[in-house]
Structure 1
Amino acid sequence: MKLKTLAFIAASSAMTLPAFAADYDITEFDTLFGTGVSNTATLSYTSGTTTIDETSNTVDFVVDRKVIFSVTDNQTATDPVVVNAGDDAVTVYTIQNDSNAPISFELPVPPTGTTYSYVDPTDGTTVITVDSSTTGSDLIIPLATGDANTPVTVDVTVTVAVPDDAASGSQIFTPLNITAVEPEDNATIGGGVTAGDQIVATAAGTAWDEDVIQTVTIGDLLNADGVSVELDNNQEFIVSASDIALVKSVAILSDPVNGTSNPKAIPGAVVQYTLTVTNSGLIEASDVIVVDAVPAVFDFTDAYVELYTLDGVTMTTDPTQVIDAGTGVTTLTFASMSVAAATDIADASTYGEKVITFTVTLP
């Protein structure tokens, strides 16, 4: 499981934290942003025989925003995760808002073949699905504030359709990128922001203002523009598929003059064709049918005898033979078979294999 957390703290950039702050857990829930804090001091003193009370001026400030959220994926296996060709690569990401303020998160428009889906946090029921044609509010996920016992989360399911013809061993990714944006209820922020605006940092060098809510971000977690805030996570899949190859070879087994000692391709020679079917993919290939068009020079009539083997064992059923009356070509069709999956696509010795041989006599 991968966890990525983004925090940015509202404070003066010139502020020096006291020693105890170094041990502060930034993920703790805190005073809500925009809370007004007001304080007045009093004193009393004696002048002669008279007691005099004095009241100081009142100082006020508002609590700034501390924005912190995380994106966690649900995968427990080590990357990459295996997915079959033709299936969906699916990752569920949990977005958690641990801020002291409500935050909305903007999703990018997904590419063709990718969808996002989530349950609307505002009603907890409506399932919203986002695809390449989605625009508007469905791309914005609002998250309220929570407390230490009930953090506010939303699960976003990213689904990528893996093509049927995806090559075995190829990579598929299910990325999720979110940008922190201003929520609908943002009147307290001020400064002219509107819902959907990217949350940005208070300009560098700006002095703290007790009357204005400020936001200072941690620089290495910002976008390239130096002010807007986003977070991404990614899950890698590796495609598991059947990956079939067919190789044909020919050899002369014997001839009427030399027998089996260095035989030549002369009339009467026994010719052996070998068809090797190899599966270098991680899924068994089923219903494999091999078709071979044998040149017209060979005679498949009863005058000659053919021998067929599968993995070195004589076939109990010969392949189907169809002779083209016009060309004389004989088409052999070997019945469907299964070819086992490879156990390691990087090691050819583990590939699944079927070997077909047949012998014919050269007229």
Structure 2
Amino acid sequence: MKHTSKWLGVASTAVLAAFGATSAHATGTLAGTTITNTASISYSVSNIAQTAATTSNSVVVDRKVTFTLANVGATTTVTPGQGSLLPATAAYDTFTLTNNSNDTLDFALAGVNQATGATAQHSGTDAFDVSGITYYIDTNSNGVFDAGDAAITWVDEVAPDTSKTIFALANVPLTVTNTQVSGIVLTASAELGGTSSTQGALLTNSNGAAWIPGTVQTVFNDTAGVSDSANDGKYSAKGDFTVYAPVLTLSKLSTIISDPVNGTSFPKAIPGATMEYCVVVQNATGGAPTTALAISDPLPTTVTYLSAYGIYLNSTYSAGTCGTGTLDSGANSSFAAATSGNNGTINGTLNNVSAGGAIAMRFRVTIN
């Protein structure tokens, strides 16, 4: 009896096609990569080697979508009326979008205001809405919005394991007051990438659907953001704007200096009397310093400005009084003297009034 002996040997290889061999990524093997595994057997019959038999199997790697969006830094300080048009004066908040997927993706952007009373990103309470939210990409990668950055409506071609800095610009109402907060929520939604400067289609989740060999299916693996759910192909993050503005109070005091009957002894406000006006500007503690501060005081026809006395500014002020003396000098010489204007109007141009500070403008009139 002749005995036939067979030796079976199996060898496997993995061939990465389509994208070629890649180095290890935190995201894993890139989507669309074809993994080909070839098995072979070799054997002999009567000690004669036979032709080896081989078989192959190919699998196309599916797309695993996972990404994050995060607000960067502290709250954005803004002033009333601050806009979004010029880089030098833009009101903007900064976000970082990080793609941890195994594919290059586009991302749609949508920014909305938080509801009044909601807790904003940095623990403040939303009190007003910004308007005209627009987006820019940090083209020059300096982390600051400037003229070198490009306006966008979506984020184009974010490669695996990379991040993009996004600036959300907005207009601040002129009516807001110091320390008020506006909260926004920015949401990024995953879209198909791969074609530069062309926005890809919104991705849909293949979780729960049958696996289709030879195609690239999409599996959402994102975590929940502040206003979206896990595994929904979206990620949302809060940002906020906090108003930093002067808190000014304006008051006007009057003192009768003399009258034509009593002189300076208990003078009364009768025709011919000399009266001193004192216009006081105070900035509360915690307010922002003022800039380009000007006082305008149109006089009624019942009084006449006394130019011989002049107009004085005092940077030292206590409640109920305006101080005495002439124009501030020395250390306070930066305060500009007010001048009498046309049409019976007194105009005073002042420098900044710091938080907790005050300045007073004094001038005299005659009662007609």
Structures share a fold, TM > 0.5? yes
Query: In the alignment, which residue of structure 2 is the partner of 1:102?
Result: 104
Q: Which amino acid aligns with 2:75?
A: D
SS in 2 for 1:238: strand
Cα distance in 2 between the residues matched to 1:319 and 1:66: 71
* Residue number among 27, 30, 48 corresponding to 2:28 in the alignment: 30
Q: Mapping of 1:36-51 within 5 angstroms?
A: 36-39=34-37
* Residue number among 336, 345, 350 corresponding to 1:337 in the alignment: 350
Please give the per-residue CA displacement for 1:179-198, whole angstroms capped at 9, x wherever unaligned: 1111247xxxxxxxx97221
SS in 1 for 2:157: strand
Q: Which amino acid aligns with 2:30?
A: L
Query: In the alignment, which residue of structure 1 is the partner of 2:151?
Result: 129
Q: Mapping of 1:209-288 within 5 angstroms?
A: 213-218=216-221, 221=224, 228-242=232-246, 244-252=248-256, 265-266=269-270, 271-279=275-283, 281-288=287-294
1:314 paired to 2:312: no
Is the 1:242–1:283 Cα contact (8 Å) retained in structure 2? yes
Is the 2:67–2:101 Cα contact (8 Å) retained in structure 1? yes
SS in 2 for 1:313: coil
Is the 2:94–2:167 Cα contact (8 Å) retained in structure 1? yes
Cα distance in 1 between the residues matched to 2:40 and 2:298: 103
Is the 2:105–2:158 Cα contact (8 Å) retained in structure 1? yes
Cα distance in 2 between the residues matched to 1:275 and 1:244: 13
Deviation at 1:242, TM superposition (A): 4.7
Q: Which amino acid aligns with 2:151?
A: T
Is the 2:111–2:184 Cα contact (8 Å) retained in structure 1? no
Query: In the alignment, which residue of structure 2 is the partner of 1:183?
Result: 193
Aligned residues: 291
Query: In the alignment, which residue of structure 1 is the partner of 2:124?
Result: none
Q: Which amino acid aligns with 2:99?
A: N
Is the 1:106–1:179 Cα contact (8 Å) retained in structure 2? yes
1:200 paired to 2:204: yes
Cα distance in 1 between the residues matched to 2:29 and 2:77: 41
| Identity of matched residues, % | 23
1:353 paired to 2:353: no
Structure 1 residues 115 and 164 mapped into 2: Cα distance closer, same or farther (>3 Å)?
farther
Query: In the alignment, which residue of structure 2 is the partner of 1:15?
Result: none
Q: Which amino acid aligns with 2:187?
A: N
Runs of 5+ unmatched residues, structure 1: 1-26, 46-51, 121-125, 131-137, 146-150, 186-193, 325-330, 343-349
1:293 paired to 2:295: no
* Residue number among 138, 141, 144 corresponding to 2:159 in the alignment: 144
Structure 1 residues 67 and 113 mapped into 2: Cα distance closer, same or farther (>3 Å)?
closer
* Residue number among 62, 65, 75 corresponding to 1:79 in the alignment: 75
Q: Which amino acid aligns with 1:313?
A: T
* Residue number among 134, 139, 147 corresponding to 1:114 in the alignment: 134
Deviation at 1:358, TM superposition (A): 3.9
Deviation at 1:282, TM superposition (A): 1.0
SS in 2 for 1:278: strand
SS in 1 for 2:103: coil
Cα distance in 2 between the residues matched to 1:113 and 1:217: 28
Please give the per-residue CA displacement for 1:133-187, whole angstroms capped at 9, x wherever unaligned: xxxxx64512334xxxxx43434343445577765445466764321111247xx
Cα distance in 2 between the residues matched to 1:257 and 1:127: 72
Cα distance in 1 between the residues matched to 2:168 and 2:272: 65
Is the 2:289–2:352 Cα contact (8 Å) retained in structure 1? no
Give every structure 1 segment of 4 or more consecutive aligned residues whose post-TM-superposition deviation is greater than 6 Å.
40-45, 54-58, 163-166, 222-227, 257-261
Is the 1:42–1:55 Cα contact (8 Å) retained in structure 2? yes
Please give the per-residue CA displacement for 1:194-242, whole angstroms capped at 9, x wherever unaligned: 97221122253x4556555444435863886997522233432323345
Is the 2:297–2:347 Cα contact (8 Å) retained in structure 1? yes
Cα distance in 2 between the residues matched to 1:362 and 1:104: 74
Cα distance in 1 between the residues matched to 2:158 and 2:325: 69
Structure 1 residues 300 and 177 mapped into 2: Cα distance closer, same or farther (>3 Å)?
closer
Deviation at 1:66, TM superposition (A): 1.9
Structure 1 residues 355 and 318 mapped into 2: Cα distance closer, same or farther (>3 Å)?
closer
Is the 1:89–1:174 Cα contact (8 Å) retained in structure 2? no
SS in 2 for 1:221: coil
Length-normalised TM-score, structure 1: 0.57
Structure 1 residues 116 and 321 mapped into 2: Cα distance closer, same or farther (>3 Å)?
closer
| CA-atom RMSD in angstroms | 5.1
Cα distance in 1 between the residues matched to 2:100 and 2:288: 42
Structure 1 residues 336 and 83 mapped into 2: Cα distance closer, same or farther (>3 Å)?
closer
